[in-house]
Amino acid sequence: MNDQAEALRHLVHSQDSQEAKTTRVLTVTSGKGGVGKSNFTLNFAMALQKRGYSVLVFDADVSFANIDVLLGTPAKYNLLHLLKGEKTIWEIIQVGPDNLQYIAGGSGFQDLVRLSEQELEYFAAQIGKLNGHFDFILFDTGAGLSKETVRFITAAEETIVVTTPEPTSITDAYALIKMLKSMGHDISFRLVVNRVTDDKEGKQTADNIRQVADKYLGLQLPVLGFIPDDANVSKAVKKQTALSVAYPDTAAVRGIDRIAANFLMEQQETGGMTNFFQRIKKLWG
């Protein structure tokens, strides 16, 4: 009780001292690994930023945190420093190219499960301070459903599921959605199909998953859009430069930009960060 009251005071305080923004928290996830979540998250964040929104990318991949590697800007501090109580949330926010703000993962999440009540309290209260400071916080999660990933996904309420047109990626995406649904969580899912040959293939893939989700789970699965398979993605990764910086006019960037436009058009009313914060406390407490 005490903890919660304290956490709420933090929250209220941070709202008082800030121009109130409604911070919308999303996770980006997938069933199968290597489908392009991290590249999508980064470049989607940059696309939103270009449209005038403030965005924070949070690397929440338990096993393969690599946002800073993709950006080519080694993080001075990462999540681990926050978990150990050595740094504040503001001190671990790094600034990448195009002023993209991000929190690098490090290997901090293994430690998350071992946090004491006091450390946990610090972590939750620090995360709560982000409320009102950003328009969007994007959590780039690992593939599949580790305990931590589930907590972030369910706390955030909104998740973008990335898949490719490959059958293995599609079935894994479906399995992930089904599992989350069976846990009784009320999450809004949206689909992004990455690495499509053309829009037709993207649409077919999306229709496939949507029909199965509708028929067997009674779940609506809106599609945010498609991203073409684009050799420049891999080139940018090898150069350790964000795709939108290295190849601003390439097909994949244009695809992600269309997705950002769709996404902003569909802005649904959500509880914003307040809800997220209360849920994440509950889930970790």
Ligand X SMILES: Nc1ncnc2c1ncn2[C@@H]1O[C@H](COP(=O)(O)OP(=O)(O)O)[C@@H](O)[C@H]1O
Q: Which residues contact 206 (CB under 8 A, 6 or more apart)?
A: 191, 193, 223, 226
Tell whether residue 149 is a contact of Mg ion (CB under 5 A): no
Least distance (Å) from ligand X to the CB of residue 147?
A: 19
**Residue closer to Mg ion, measured from CB, 152 or 277:** 152
* Number of residues engaging ligand X in binding (CB under 6 A): 17
Q: Note the helical H segments in 36-145.
A: 37-50, 67-71, 79-83, 89-92, 109-112, 117-128
* Choice between 37 and 87, CB closer to Mg ion: 37
**Sole window of 1-9, 15-23, 33-41, 103-111 interacting with ligand X (rule: CB under 6 A):** 33-41
Instruction: Give me Rg for the CA atoms of the chain.
Output: 18
Residue written as tokens 């053309």?
A: 198
- Please count the other Cβ atoms lying within 10 Å of the Cβ belonging to residue 94: 21
Question: Using the rule CB under 6 A, which residue among 39, 49, 149, 278 binds ligand X?
Answer: 39
Strand order in the sheet with 188-196: 93-95, 101-103, 55-60, 136-141, 24-29, 158-163, 188-196, 223-228
Single residue of 9, 12, 13, 34 touching ligand X by CB under 6 A: 34
Q: Which of residues 155-194 bind ligand X (CB under 6 A)?
A: 194
- Cβ proximity to Mg ion: between 38 and 244 the closer is 38
Q: Is 38 in the site for Mg ion (CB under 5 A)?
A: yes
Query: For Mg ion, which stretch binds (CB under 5 A), given 33-41, 84-92, 95-103, 105-113?
Result: 33-41
Determine the interface stretch with Mg ion among 19-27, 29-37, 50-58, 144-152 (rule: CB under 5 A).
Answer: 29-37
CB 168 within 8 A of CB 77: no
State the binding partner of 227 from ligand X, Mg ion, none, CB within 5 to 8 A by kind: ligand X
- Minimum Å distance from CB 194 to ligand X? 5
Are 191 and 223 in contact, with CB atoms under 8 Å apart? yes
Residue burial 154-173, b: 16+ Cβ < 10 Å; e: rest:
bbbbbbbbbbbbeeebbebb
**What distance lies between CA 193 and its chain's CA centroid?**
16
Site for ligand X in 216-245 (CB under 6 A): 227, 229-230, 233-234, 237
| Residue 105 and residue 67 in contact, taking contact as beta carbons nearer than 8 Å | yes
Q: How many whole angstroms separate alpha carbon 227 and alpha carbon 225?
A: 7
Choosing from 252, 253, 260, 273, the residue that interacts with ligand X (CB under 6 A) is 252
Contacted by 248, from ligand X, Mg ion, none: CB < 5 to 8 Å by type? none
Q: Please, which residue, 33 or 271, has the CB nearer to ligand X?
A: 33
**Residues found near ligand X in the complex (CB under 6 A):** 30, 33-39, 194-195, 227, 229-230, 233-234, 237, 252
